[in-house]
Structure 1
């Protein structure tokens, strides 16, 4: 599904309906049969009563009872198989939209999505499910209409005013409830947005729980979440109140219509215009009519909810890409070059890294380091900054995103760890030939040795059973196991002790020999292990040389990196 195929919630609903038309047709026929059979039950009962009162033959009565049995079997099996088809289609369609949202979020080219990760999660779950409900709503709407039409036609045959009353009453009820359903749709859309924001807030809090505990910010964070959650609760109460009014009004109007039909039929029987058997038939149809009318009148509400969810999904699926990748590929021996790059605090930044060179970048300002990482990882599209970044002698803007990700890996300072095993975290794709070497180079061997399962030791969600240093070394091992042509590491050893840092620096230089490596760091061990150090101050290059050379001649460098 391309970005041009989905722009609005309406288009999402149309796509869902179009690709499930086979299942919906079969479901509609079966559910229509169910409703028709349900309608036939009071009709047959009326016929049986009429036969009994007129002293009809037992054979005719037996046939009527047999017909009633067949109708009841039709009711049972048509409902069973109809709902099976529709629910399977519903579940499958919800899965498709969940995959579509996940695919959009996981694409190599980032999207301009104005939603937090927790909100996207809600879109991929609740909104996908509610959008797919349209697959059941439409067949149920049609089948309910079938029962209303059959009831109205039968009553018209018995007495034209009764049929007119049913049709006119149904139109009036739907008109009243249609106005209310639009309000429900608007309120639900606001509720979904607020619930999603609350989910995003709690997701952020869980991710930052340790640092919050560290500086005593837990209570303030809890209060912030409580405010967001309270807004979501209040909006949910508003939606529940409107839904309650809708359900109550629907039931009341349907009951009034059924009562009016029943009373009118009683009057007609008293006047002798219809028989007792016909009265039984009318009363049965009037009582039966409440359920399909209720279902029929509730459908607009579910349509509005599905549309509101589809509109939220469109926010993700229709989000434009931050950049338009090219089609070229870097040269096999890939170097890295920045020419006059200006972005944020970076000012006319120019430096190059030769193929196979190990360069350390000492950025005096953390903001400059973070912005350099964003530029190199293509999180910032080339159109958003001045200057040029080249990988393997080709500008980033001209490279296909697949080749860029294959040749250039930027490992950020925040180390994400996923639930699974140590091995799955180091080698998610299961294709790396350097797992053991990467684990050893990142000094993760002590973690592996602690557990009898070794690399198959289970890691909890977000690495909750690992220390900060262990998570950082696991992230470093994953980057090394990927073995890209160009590897950029941002502060890979800030959470480890000095001895481990020395060992990692030596191992890194050894393992990456012949591969282009850039480390953005202030670690003396890593700076010393590099072939060359590039100093960034004020967002521009102010000095270059080896670590020891810079220590001997640059006092600012001494103050910045000496420990």
Structure 2
């Protein structure tokens, strides 16, 4: 798949065209069936008028039986065409919504960052509400066409009785749609703003949940809650504005449709009084005037749904059309280690080091932000144009690697990895195919958590690991990273939330399990530093020392002060 394929349609209109194009068959079938439904509904008052007309002329049981049979055919057509037409359209609608949800999720989960100012809460809204509302276009278009069919049939039928009645329906429909199209534009713009504000509120509450414990720790929870209340209030006010616009639209549509139906009824009554139409035609006209309210209502509501679908499609385009920060290549790395040459980025100033294949190297960063900058580079979250120098994995420049190859060869595990709702096992081995789950549990010292519960690895974990302690969440994340058995593993502070004894055991476990595999740990933990084959000291953005932990303790006083506790 090329980069342009990943990005998908660039505009909301292009997204809607894509949805319409790949559901053309289902929409055609649905349109035919829904057109039959509307034609049958329209035929009912026409048939009643004809029955009255013929019954008054020919009062026989045969004519009555034929009339009943004709009504039965119409009712059967209406019932089955509606049932199967809506089944086809709703299946296509839900399938299309699923496709866009998967597309948005795949885009958001790419291992390269995207240049779209959207937080996780907003992405969630796009992947759910916006995807569903965009797919509604699959139902809207056939319903719009079928409603138009009903209006045209009614106009033609009334025109056969009186040209004036037919023209009144056509002209009245045009006037109704012209008035409502103005209101629908207001609803579309208001809906876009409402969706954006709701998404921002969702992103804010997601951030609050993620940082609730530290917020409580330094007393910032009240200020954070006030901030969320402001954002939520803005979303509520905009929702009220949209609701008012929707109410005005619905009221105007109902009033205009009622006026048109009343006008048709009054004109038909006037023509019948003058003897210009028959009693049967009057019955037909009155029936059509009542029936036409439904397709007119449906027809007049369609522009609103089109505008909502377009607004949602434009929000999806914000994410789908945003160019990736990195343009992944197609090469695959050979077996090998990691090489960093002359890298300048953020706090890194000419950083150079090499970790050969199979070595366990620890990096002691005196400045925490330097460790963060290095992790961002190794994780592929920084575009090549944003830094100087070269980063190679397995002898290949990271900018030339395909996403799949980079992910399969090197795993970069952040200090605060996500824990998902599920079980311990599903968090450690999401694919269910990892051969090292038991070894990873042992090495990460997660054994005590497993032993605490009768379910063992099948113990249920709540969202974000809410039923686990900080140390248990950290060890669970470490077990997942170790179980992946990546050729190159980069860890950042994997033991900050555990006690010294457990830390010592984890350090030995990592060294044992990763023997023969390339491992880089950014840490200040003496246990991990001691377990590593060598330690690189990162100070002032560059490597200032390279030796074993114990040699550095003896020869480097600054290192001794930085890492001893």
State the TM-score bracket (shorter-chain normalisation).
over 0.9
Compute the displacement of 1:371 (Å): 0.5
Query: Which residue of structure 2 lines up, in the alignment, with residue 447 of structure 1?
Result: 449
1:561 deviates by 1.2
Name which of structure 1's ranges 282-291 and 204-213 shifts more when overlaid on structure 2.
204-213
For 1:355-374, what aligned pairs fall within 5 Å after superposition? 355-374=357-376
The residue correspondences of 1:303-452 to structure 2 (distance < 5 A) are 303-332=306-335, 334-452=336-454
Query: Which of 453, 474, 478 is the equivalent residue of 1:476?
Result: 478
Aligned partner of residue 114 in structure 2, secondary structure: coil
Give yes or no for the alignment of 1:252 onto 2:251: no
Question: How far apart are residue 5 of structure 1 and its match?
Answer: 4.3
> Secondary structure of 2:380's match?
coil
CA distance in 2, matches of 1:108, 1:219: 34
Shift of 1:212: 2.1
CA contact 2:7–2:323 (8 Å) conserved in 1 = no
1:237 Cα deviation (Å)?
0.5
The answer to whether the 8 Å contact 2:337/2:393 transfers is: yes
Partner Cα separation in structure 2 for residue 273 and residue 327 of structure 1: 79
Shift, 1:280, TM fit: 1.1
Q: Report the secondary structure of 2:205's partner residue.
A: helix
Q: CA deviation at 1:214?
A: 2.4
Q: 1:96 to 1:404 in 2, by over 3 A?
A: same
SS of 2:545's equivalent? strand
The two structures have a TM-score, normalised by structure 1, of 0.98
Distance in 2 of aligned mates of 1:271 and 1:510: 103
The 3-state SS of whatever aligns with 1:206 is helix
Please name the residue that 1:508 is paired with: 510
Aligned to 2:77: 74
Residues 88-99 of structure 1 aligned to structure 2 (within 5 Å):
88-99=91-102
- SS of the equivalent of 1:432 reads coil
1:260-339 map, 5 Å: 260-332=263-335, 334-339=336-341
The answer as to whether partners of 1:3 and 1:320 remain within 8 angstroms in 2 is no
2:65 is matched with 62
Answer whether contact 2:411 2:490 (CA < 8 A) is retained: yes
Q: Which residue of 2 aligns with 1:189?
A: 192
Residue matched to 2:494: 492
Structure 1 distance, partners of 2:117, 2:25, is: 36
Answer yes or no: is the 8 Å Cα contact 1:382–1:396 preserved in 2.
Answer: no
Question: For residues 108 and 203 of structure 1, what CA distance do their matches in structure 2 show?
Answer: 21
Whether contact under 8 Å (1:51, 1:61) holds in the other structure is no
**Number of the residue aligned with 1:125:** 128
CA–CA separation in structure 1 for the residues paired with 2:399 and 2:462: 38
Q: Structure 2 residue aligned with 1:525, among 517, 524, 527?
A: 527
> Helix, strand or coil for the counterpart of 2:302?
helix
**Structure 1 pair 363–4 and aligned structure 2 pair: CA distance change class (3 A):** closer
Superposition map of 1:211-250 within 5 A: 211-250=214-253
1:557 aligns with 2:559: yes
* Contact 2:55–2:63 under 8 Å retained in 1: no
CA shift for structure 1 position 73: 1.3
C-alpha spacing 1:5/1:480, structure 2 compared with 1 (3 Å): closer
**Closer, same or farther: CA 156–366 of 1 in aligned 2, 3 Å:** same
Q: Distance in 1 between matches of 2:328 and 2:51?
A: 75
- Aligned partner of 2:179 in structure 1 is 176
Root-mean-square deviation (Å):
1.3
Over 3 Å counting, the alpha-carbon distance change for 1:104 and 1:516 in structure 2 is same
In structure 1, the gaps of 5 or more residues are none
Structure 1 residue 203: deviation in Å? 1.3
1:460 to partner: Cα distance: 1.1
1:55 CA drift (Å): 4.8
Task: After superposing the two structures, state which structure 1 stretch, 70-79 or 120-129, moved more.
Answer: 70-79
How far off its partner does 1:91 sit? 0.8
| Helix, strand or coil at the partner of 1:526 | helix
* TM-fit CA distance, 1:268: 0.9
Instruction: State the 1:396 CA deviation.
Output: 1.1
Answer whether contact 1:108 1:402 (CA < 8 A) is retained: no
- TM superposition shift of 1:33: 0.7
CA offsets 1:310-356 (integer angstroms, 9 cap, x no match): 11111111121111222222222x11111110000111111111222
Q: Structure 2 CA distance, aligned partners of 1:48 and 1:326? A: 74
**Structure 1: distance between partners of 2:79 and 2:329:** 59
CA contact (8 A) 1:342 1:387 kept: yes
> What CA deviation, in whole Å up to 9, does each residue of 1:17-51 have, x standing for no partner?
11111111111111111111111111111122223
User: C-alpha displacement at 1:82, in angstroms?
Assistant: 0.9
Point out the more displaced range, 401-410 or 300-309: 401-410
Matched, 1:8 2:44: no
Q: How many residues align?
A: 562
Q: Work out whether residues 535 and 547 of structure 2, in 8 Å CA contact, stay in contact via their aligned partners in 1.
A: yes
Q: Does the Cα contact within 8 Å between 2:37 and 2:77 map onto a contact in 1?
A: yes
The unaligned stretches of length 5 or more in structure 2 are none
- Residue number in structure 2 paired with 1:141: 144
SS of alignment partner, residue 515 of structure 2: coil
Partner in structure 2 of residue 536 of structure 1: 538
Partner residue of 1:458? Answer: 460
* Residue 541 of structure 1, CA deviation: 1.4
The Cα of 1:4 is off from its aligned counterpart by: 5.8
356-365 vs 51-60, greater mean Cα deviation:
51-60
In 2, distance between residues paired with 1:301 and 1:499? 64
User: Is the CA contact (8 Å cut-off) linking 2:8 and 2:320 kept in structure 1?
Assistant: no
Asked if structure 2 preserves the Cα contact closer than 8 Å seen for 1:3 and 1:319, the reply is no
**Does the 8 Å CA contact 2:375/2:412 hold for their aligned counterparts?**
yes
Equivalent of 2:153 in 144, 150, 155: 150
TM-score normalised by length of structure 2: 0.97
